[in-house]
Amino acid sequence: MTKVGIVVGSLRKESFSRKIAKNLVEFFPGAYETEFVEIGHLPLYNEEYDGNSPEEYNTFRKQIKGMDAILFVTPEYNRSVPGVLKNALDVASRPYGESVWDGKPAAIVSQSISNLSGFGANHHLRQSLTFLNMPVVQQPEVYLANSQDLLDDSGKFKSEDTVQFLQSFVDAFVDLIKKHNA
| Peptide bond preceding 140 in cis form (omega within 30 of 0) | yes
DSSP 77: B
Model confidence at 176: pLDDT above 80: yes
Q: What is the pLDDT of residues 107-165, one digit of tens each?
A: 999 999 988 889 999 999 999 999 999 999 999 999 999 999 999 999 999 999 999 99
pTM check: above 0.95: yes
Question: Average pLDDT of the chain?
Answer: 96
What ranges in 4-159 are assigned the alpha helix state H?
16-25, 55-65, 83-93, 119-131
Dihedral angle computed from the Cα positions of residues 76, 77, 79 and 85, in that order, rounded to the nearest 10 degrees? -70
Q: Which domains can be identified in the chain, with CATH numbers?
A: 2-180 (3.40.50.360)
pLDDT at position 94 is 95
